[in-house]
Amino acid sequence: MAETILATEQQRLVSLDAFRGLTIASMVMVNNPGSWSHMYAPLRHAPWDGWTPTDFVFPFFLFIVGVAMTFSFDRRMQAGADRLRLIAHAFRRSLILILLGFSIGAFSGGKWWNMTSYAMIIAGLYFVYSSEPLLSLGRTQREKLNKLTGWALLIAGVIVFIASLGQFGDQRIPGVLQRIAWCYFGVSIIMVLTTWKGRLLWTLVILNAYWIVMQYFDAPADYEMTNRDAPEGVPFAGTLNDWVDTRIFGDNLYRRRPDPEGLLSTFPAMATVLLGTLTGTWLKTAWDRRDKVIGMACMGGVLIIAGLCMDLYFPINKKIWSSSFVVFTAGWAMSILAVCYYFIDVKMWKRWSLPFVVFGTNAILLFWAATIMALTMSRYIRFTVDEETIALRTWLYRNIYTANIETPELASLMWALSYLVLWCLLLYPFYRKKIFLKV
């Protein structure tokens, strides 16, 4: 979603690609340990209030989405796109992200055949959006063929999806890619309707409104949260979040409640993206690059301190995406981006960042494909060894890592790092050939 944003190499923010790559690499690493039972503490999420480095990964990615949006939206407007076209474009991207998220859920739940409808709809959207206006049949024979193919695939995909809806079962509806989609589309509407001042106002309104709602409103007294993740008696325990989600999604939620990508907490997550758009606006100004670094570093420090102060009243909490969590993590994201920007785009020290740029230029592809491969190795490729049915992933981890590394936590970490190296090698040819797959 957060795309490579500028057309010329002189203007290109390689630091943004590198920061995006560092973030998505961290996401893949913490999602693919050798063993969930043996992980170093920094690679785990905080049990409830508080934070670990792992809790920074997702908000960092959403922040980067916002930074990139300022460049991509301005570029499209300069190319002649009006507000309606920008919203239509945002809708397509958001819908594709949601479908990709659903496809991971279907594959994870053993219903891989449901991915057929998602693939048909995604392909249909590609062909329909291949030329404008969207609702026309095109001018050339090629455009007409693309349009007809697109609409046929869309209609067929929707029919297949409806026909298999009963098999959707208890598949989780929220998810990481789904949250990115909802945040991207919501912020897109705000961006096309407001200036940076309006985006700042929306950020303040969202953060304060969420704080008020969480402090003064709660679920009905007779509502009981199942599989409660929050300790008993803690403030802002997320019961309201779970009540809203169950009213809308039923049981199609994460097993531990409240769902960390639930509906209510999506609004403060949008504020994370908005803070990214404000940072992108700062990067687009005519100020000297060193001044931009200083500005980001100083504002990042201010936000970190503000988040810590807010933590006293509304605890920093990733699972309900508290307002203090938004401010605190945005401060760190801004500070780290400032460091990347200084070393890569100001000092021009770029070689060290190559692996992260490789990841960052195909971030969504990496996240989706790495997840599918991990699920394939752990759930679909199995064989019998000494009368034991074992998954390929388990066999590799047991015979290569735990057999040669005494410390379980280190073995688990080395598996995750090896998986990252594998994907760096797989994606490097894409980078060399300038093949950047975007939704």
For every residue of 340-384, DSSP letters joined together read: HIIIIIIS---GGGHHHHHHHTTHHHHHHHHHHHHHIIIII-EEE
What is the pLDDT confidence band of residue 8, given thresholds at 50, 70 and 90? Answer: very low
Q: Write out the two tokens for 426.
A: 């797989």
Q: What is the mean pLDDT of the chain?
A: 91
* Helix then strand then coil, % of the chain, to nearest 5: 65, 0, 30
- Provide the token pair at 79: 């190319």
Q: How confident is the model at residue 327 (pLDDT cuts 50, 70, 90)?
A: very high
Residues 6+ apart with CB under 8 A from 201: 194
Q: Pick from 93, 102, 123, 100: which is nearest to 183 by CA? A: 93
Contact between 196 and 216 (Cβ < 8 Å): no
Per-residue pLDDT, 77: 80
Question: Following CA atoms 228, 59, 253, 91 in sequence, which dihedral angle do they give, to the nearest 10 degrees?
Answer: 160
Q: Is the pLDDT of residue 99 over 90?
A: yes
Alpha-carbon distance of 27 to 328, in angstroms, equals 19
Peptide bond just before 231 cis, omega within 30 deg: no
275 by Cβ neighbours in 10 Å (0-12 / 13-18 / 19+) ranks as buried
Segment 156-215, tens digit of pLDDT: 999 988 888 777 777 899 999 999 999 999 999 999 999 999 999 999 999 999 999 999
Residues making up the chain, counted from first to last: 439
Single-letter code of the amino acid located at 232: E
Q: How far is CA 95 from the centre of its chain?
A: 14
The stretch 239-254 carries a mean pLDDT of 93
How does pLDDT run across 116-168, given as a tens digit for each residue?
Answer: 899 999 999 999 888 777 777 777 888 888 889 999 999 999 998 888 877 77
Report the half-sphere exposure of 397 (CA within 13 A, side-chain side).
Answer: 25
One-letter identity of residue 383: F
Local confidence band at 12 (pLDDT 50, 70, 90 cut-offs):
low
Q: Which helix (DSSP H) or strand (DSSP E) does residue 211 occupy? A: helix 196-216
Q: Collect all residues with Cβ–Cβ distance below 8 Å to 431 and sequence separation of at least 6.
A: 357, 358, 361, 362
CA 330 vs CA 49, 219, 279, 326, 372: distances in Å = 17, 29, 10, 6, 30
Torsion, Cα 340 341 346 350, to 10 degrees, reads 50
DSSP H helices in 257-322: 266-283, 289-310
Question: Band of the pLDDT at 3, cuts 50, 70, 90?
Answer: very low
- Smallest CA-to-CA distance from 353 within 105, 22, 23, 118 is with 22
Does residue 269 contact residue 321 with C-beta atoms inside 8 Å? yes
In this prediction, residue 9 carries a pLDDT of 34
Is residue 277 a contact partner of residue 194, using CB atoms and an 8 Å limit? no
Give pLDDT tens digits for 54-68: 999 999 999 999 999
Peptide bond between residue 42 and the one before it cis (omega within 30 degrees of 0)? no
pTM score, whole prediction: 0.92
Report the C-alpha gap between 251 and 253 in whole angstroms: 5
Summarize pLDDT for 427-439 with one digit per residue, the tens: 999 999 999 988 8
Distance of CA 15 to the CA centre of its chain: 18
Written as one string, the DSSP assignment of 396-437 is: HIIIIIITT-SSHHHHHHHHHHHHHHHHHHHHHHHHHTT---
**Residue reference for tokens 């509304």:** 314
Distance (Å, whole) CA 162 – CA 148: 21
d(CA 118, CA 372) in angstroms, rounded, equals: 15
Tell me if 374 sits within 8 A of 333, measured CB to CB. Answer: no
Three-state SS for 390?
strand
Q: How far apart are CA 378 and CA 292, in angstroms?
A: 46
Instruction: Report d(CA 429, CA 436) in Å as an integer.
Output: 11
Rounded Cα–Cα distance for residues 326 and 269 (Å): 7
